[in-house]
Structure 1
Amino acid sequence: MGSFKIIHTNICSVNCNFDSFIVLLHRLSFKCDVIVLSECWISKISTIPQIDGYTTYASSYSNQNDGVIIFVKSDISHDIITDTRIDEASGLLLKLGDDFYILAIYRSPSYKNIDYFCNSLDTVLSSLESVKTLILLGDINIDISTSSIDRNKNKYLDFMAYYGLLPAHFLPTRNDNCLDHVMVRSDRSSNTFVLDSHITDHAPVLFTVECKVNRVPLRTSCSKIDYPNLDQELSITDFGQVYLELNPNVATDTFIEIVTSVISKHTKVVPVPHRNYPIKPWMTPGLVKCTRHRDKLQKKAKINPQNAILQLTYTRYRNFCNKLLKNIKIEYEKQEFIKNKNNTKGTWRTINKITNLKKNNLPPTELLKCSTDPYKSLDQVNKYFADIGQNLADAILQKHKNETANTESIMCQTQMSINSMAVFDVDPSEIEAIILNLRNDCATGVDKIPTKVIKNSRFSLIPPLTHIFNQCLTSGVFPDSLKKALVHPIHKNGARDSIGNYRPISVLTVVSKILEKVLNTRLINFLEKNNLIANKKLLTKKLTAFKKNKII
């Protein structure tokens, strides 16, 4: 059973201090399982910030400085209880198992009487009485330190004790006051640490508990291809069986079998290191060292408040660190735009990262519960997405089956072309041009042949591909193996256990994409030459989509 790590801090505005908090996380020698931020000023945030490898949730708010944000490691199975409402506070309830809950709360200091707060919280806690491990944490703005004279202290602690929640610490978190609480009900061993950090006037609190949670297994290995040796072997590989086949299906299957066998021969499995990589890519060792020195100066300044020189030195160095952090981040973002200046997709990827519009897509594990058996659930999901196209086509035909007369009238008014569409053979130079224009980051399809293999070994692979494609054009057959796609369900909105709330992303093989572009070129030439679409604007729009291989 491992140690489950939770860190909480009053961030005093995410817009102002989030980047500094990220530096603090990077300085830790481990990654926290759950990160809780309070007093987030959510009302002033256009988009909630993201952390790679974490799923993000944000609470509602009632005033400008309200709000709680929770980050949960993406490999942890969890649920967020969305209907958690607490009067005079903002909060989120996180379920990590049937017997493990975390309740994160921020209560503003503007509320002096705790009666409304306790009465509302009573409803939430009473529903969790059977939970064995319950952790309530956040900035409650009630001083529970041993020397506290806060008039709400005893009433608050008595209320918590009624539900078996006891303070995990009484250490000061803001000046000499203990305002950032960790209240625990558990029979598991735990530890609490107040970190010496000065991002805001509140100290972060780290809580660890020996508790087991369900995790999605991390990938422990990956495949690595030896491209130079692979290219060398493909150059001497005999594709004679492909040239002998006149059946496009058999020729394609033979080609794929030969290439995949050579790839597997030059592929080795290597372990994936799970080191503590930077949480943000703009993080530098120099920046981390700078923040360490800043914190040392802060300690000295705190011990010697009368030393004017030390106070001035700390203030100047703190401002220097803050400015350095902003400049490093801005320069990184600038370089990302320069790197992707000719890549529209890369530019939008950078924009989404900077503006926090990029969402961490969680694996759709909820779809495994569509049936009593996971394998039956997979079959059900696969059938749903496989039949979407056919069902849509049938619906359109059904809708227009009574409009035959109207359709014939329209066809009579439309100028018909007397020319038939001739599909000419493809030559190696055309295929090479198509291959060179393929993106390097294209996902591999069912055959697991990467784009990089096709590009690097194109001189060896173009001749058999030319033969296969010409057989396809001659016989009018699109090979069955090139019709297969890997379908990735992407959640749109709504309940995650409903198939209808997902959109499918179909990943075809690289060979299939090349053949599509061959056919695409011939179709475009025919449409342009014969001017078959009367509406010029519509023609331009549709041809642009065709040229970009988009569905229209």
Structure 2
Amino acid sequence: MVKPGKFDELRCVLEALENAIHVLVITETWIKTDDEAKRFQIPNYTHYYNHRIMNRGGGVSVFVRNDVRHTHIEDVCVDGNHFLWVHLKKFSLDIGAVYRKPNSNAQKFLDEYSKQISAKTRAIAIGDFNFNLLSNDRETVLYNQIVEENGYRLINKIESKFCTRETANTKTIIDHICTNLRENHFHQAIIQTPMSDHNHMYIEIKKYEPKPLAKLQYEAINYQYLHELMQQKCIGNENDIYNNLEENIINSIKSSKVTKYKILNPPRRDWINKSIIEGINKRNLLWKQYKQNRNNKEKEHLFKTKRNEILEQIQRTKSTYYLESFRKCEKKPSKMWKLINTLSSNKTRETSTPSKLRTKDGVITTNVKEICECFNDFFVNIGSELAKQIPKTSHYTGYTDKKYCTRSGSLILDSFAPTNEDEISKIINNLDCNTSAGLDNITTKSIKCVKDLILKELSNCINKCLQTGTFPNSLKVAKVSPISISGNYRPISVLPVISKIFERVIYNRLETYLTAINFFYDKQYGFRPKSNTLSATIDLITNIKLNIDKKQIVLGVFIDLKKAFDTEDQ
């Protein structure tokens, strides 16, 4: 499986099938490490694996479709032989992947195999056993006895035309399927393919009926109607201008919502295209022609040429696709990390609250409201609690000394300059539409839709807040989702869209003032115009190289402060 192009070709074959394969078992994966195993992912499948740690070769993998409820039971490696079991909940069935190392101690393997299958109530074991069922040697006879003694039977048809491995001179059945299910009538097929020196085995427990494409019902906003409604609204009361504006927007959005239906399409095939599938089919045809007459050098040349051509095309197409994907999200960090996480692992991070939680009093609660209150209390107090643990004697207060920042001029920030409609319009235009709505359910797209109708009132609201030093209470509330990270929880807050407009106005004035008095330390790279982590990296590398050129020893101290922002005095 680790051979370049082999796994990608397998993905192409799976995409070309009309019906989905629910469980895919692969033996002799040759995977060496967990990191290497995580590179082999198939969209909509979960990958389980058991590999050798010290030696090359061997190993088994099982890919299970995510729409089949399943759990990982166990994986065992004994004397270089691999066993991996997965339980399918819907079928109350255990699927086992087995690999026996050639020439390994047969008795040791059979003892472990007997122990494995005897503990299973309903099971199917699939794998490379390296016992030739076409032979009557002592080890194969003993293997058949162990299978029967445990109430299992072999699904394989014991005829040479159904061999699972074929060379120019031999035919063997060393890949087996055995089960203790008696009532099922299995459909089995041996698939000849040039992808491997073993033939593929296919087994169908019962006819699978493809699920119809799921239909999603959701509410959407009719933005044209929203604009028309807002034109009819009158803000009115000058003393409560913001509350009236917010209420009008919320009511107009509610009245503009319509119910829509969406068919959830299957996931796209990314880099796998029709040309690759057709090329694989052509390669398979040439392989069959060559197999019928192995002495025909012309057919051998045509097959090997096409085989190498397909492998090269797969690698080239895949590389080009992902290179272009990375270029498209070059300036979009969130999409970049989403792509990286997709390629590196199939694990997802849960953003929902846990089903139960232990409170500070030691009581375990399953009440959703109580769990939310516990999280709220934790996030509110964690900063101050950590700050109390910081030794007072270690505090340093000279960060604004001339050594760190040089203030110039006699500018004093005793009030904020008023905003205007042009500034508010630019801020709204720069808002990202691909963000969630806050607790008020006002989306960024809705604000942009009615921008021309609310600019005057919104700028008046903000100016009044700047004059009085107040901030609307409804904009102080955020939707918080706890995300589990490294044994702790981090809050992800979604603020109301309008609060971001207020904050940007204040930010612009603070940033202008602090820049004017030369407040910022020149080595502060984050949250400053024309500065970012790239600037920090360039400076770091430059300093390292300069000191190395001076024959000096370079040391680095990297500190990750625990909840650093939360411990600051807010």
Q: TM-score normalised to the size of structure 2? A: 0.76
Judge conservation of contact 1:243–1:467 (CA < 8 Å) in 2.
Answer: no
After TM superposition, the structure 1 = structure 2 runs for residues 441-480 of structure 1, keeping only pairs within 5 Å, are 441-480=434-473
1:537 corresponds to which residue? 523
Check conservation: 2:226, 2:252, Cα contact below 8 A.
Answer: no
Name the SS of the counterpart of 2:355 in structure 1. helix
Equivalent residue number for residue 115 of structure 1: 107
Q: Which residue of 1 aligns with 2:154?
A: 167
Aligned pairs, how many? 510
The answer to whether 1:191 aligns with 2:187 is: yes
Q: Is the 8 A contact 1:195 1:204 kept in 2?
A: yes
Classify 1:83/1:22 alpha carbon distance in 2 versus 1 (closer, same or farther; 3 Å). closer
2:515 is the counterpart of 1:525:
no
Asked if 1:139 is matched to 2:106, the reply is no
Aligned to 2:176: 181
Shift of 1:361: 1.3
Q: What amino acid is the match of 1:303? A: Q
- What is the one-letter code of the residue matched to 2:46? T
* AA partner of residue 520 (structure 1): Y
User: How far apart are the structure 1 equivalents of 2:352 and 2:69?
Assistant: 10
1:64-213 correspondence runs (5 A) = 64-81=56-73, 84-97=76-89, 99-109=92-102, 111-126=103-118, 128-129=119-120, 131=121, 133-144=122-133, 147-149=134-136, 151-170=138-157, 171-175=162-166, 176-187=171-182, 189=184, 190-210=186-206
- How far residue 296 of structure 1 moved from its aligned partner, in angstroms, is 1.7
Structure 2: which amino acid aligns with 1:97?
Answer: K
State the SS of the aligned residue for 2:72: strand
For residues 94 and 69 of structure 1, the distance between their equivalents in structure 2, rounded to whole angstroms, comes to: 11
Q: How does 1:476-487 map to 2 (within 5 A)?
A: 476-487=469-480
- Cα distance in 2 between the residues matched to 1:461 and 1:104: 64
Q: Do the aligned partners of residues 243 and 74 (structure 1) sit closer, same or farther apart at CA in structure 2, a change above 3 Å counting?
A: farther
1:413 and 1:253, CA in 2 relative to 1: closer, same or farther beyond 3 A? Answer: closer
3-state SS in 2 of match to 1:181: strand
Shift of 1:351: 4.6
Which residue of structure 2 lines up, in the alignment, with residue 230 of structure 1? 223
Q: Answer yes or no: is 1:428 the counterpart of 2:415.
A: no
Change (3 A) 1:79 1:527: farther
From the superposition, tell whether residues 163 and 444 of structure 1 become closer, same or farther in structure 2 (CA, over 3 Å): farther
Structure whose CA Rg is larger: 2
**Shift in Å, 1:221:** 0.7
RMSD over aligned CA atoms reads 4.1
Whole-angstrom distance in 2 between the partners of 1:426 and 1:36: 65
Partner SS state of residue 354, structure 2: helix
Indicate the SS of the match to 1:270.
Answer: strand
* Offset of residue 80 of structure 1: 1.8
Structure 1 residue 435, shift from structure 2 partner: 2.8
Sequence identity (%): 24
Note if 1:516 corresponds to 2:506.
no
1:316 maps to which of 305, 329, 351: 305
Match 1:302 to one of 291, 306, 311: 291
Partners of 1:79 and 1:504 lie apart in 2 by 30
* Preserved contact between residue 45 and residue 64 of structure 2 (Cα < 8 Å): yes
Distance in 2 of aligned mates of 1:421 and 1:219: 59
Deviations 1:444-479 (A, max 9, x none): 444444434444553345445434444544554544
Contact 1:239 1:255 (C-alpha < 8 Å) held by counterparts: no
* Larger relative contact order, structure 1 or 2 (CA cutoff 8 Å, min sep 6): 1
SS in 2 for 1:90: strand
**Distance 1:368-1:454 versus aligned 2 partners, 3 A rule:** same
Task: Classify 1:437/1:88 alpha carbon distance in 2 versus 1 (closer, same or farther; 3 Å).
Answer: same
Quote the offset at 1:192 in angstroms. 2.4
Separation in 1, partners of 2:51, 2:238: 65
Q: Secondary structure at the match of 2:230?
A: coil
Q: Which residue of 2 aligns with 1:325?
A: 314
- Cα offsets for 1:54-74 (capped at 9, x unmatched): 223332424222322332223
Specify whether residues 118 and 480 from structure 1 end up closer, same or farther in structure 2 by C-alpha distance, changes over 3 A only: farther
Matched, 1:270 2:261: yes
Deviation at 1:249, TM superposition (A): 7.2
Moved runs in structure 1, 4+ residues, more than 6 A? 411-418, 544-548
Per-residue deviation, residues 299-355 of structure 1 (Å, max 9, x unmatched): 1221222333222222222222222222222222232233334434444444555xx
Please, which moves more after superposition, 99-108 or 14-23? 99-108
- Which ranges of structure 1 fall in alignment gaps of 5 or more residues? 1-10, 494-499
Partner of 2:8: 19
Report the secondary structure of 1:158's partner residue. helix
Structure 1 residues 154-177: Cα deviation after superposition (integer angstroms, max 9, x where no partner): 222322333333222234222232
Cα contact 1:239–1:464 (8 A) shared by 2? no
Name the CA distance, whole Å, in 1 between partners of 2:501 and 2:325: 30
Following superposition, the deviation at residue 406 of structure 1 comes to: 8.6
Q: CA deviation at 1:259?
A: 4.3
Does the 8 Å CA contact 1:490/1:505 hold for their aligned counterparts?
yes
| 1:425-456 deviation digits (Å, cap 9, x = unpaired) | 43332233233333343234444444344445
In structure 2, distance between residues paired with 1:135 and 1:325: 33
Structure 2, unaligned runs of 5 or more? 359-363, 534-562, 566-570
Q: Deviations over 1:163-208 (max 9, x none)?
A: 3332222342222322332222235533323333321122232323
Equivalent in the alignment of 1:335: 324
TM-score by length of 1: 0.78
Cα distance in structure 2, aligned partners of 1:411 and 1:243: 51
Letter in 2 for 1:430: E
Gap change, CA 1:321 and 1:483, over 3 Å in 2: same
Is the partner of 1:237 in helix, strand or coil? helix
Q: What is the distance in 2 between the residues matched to 1:545 and 1:218?
A: 48
1:54 correspondence with 2:45: yes
1:357 aligned residue:
344
Distance 1:80 1:470, change over 3 A: farther
- CA–CA distance in 1 between the matches of 2:96 and 2:440? 47
Shift of 1:291: 1.2
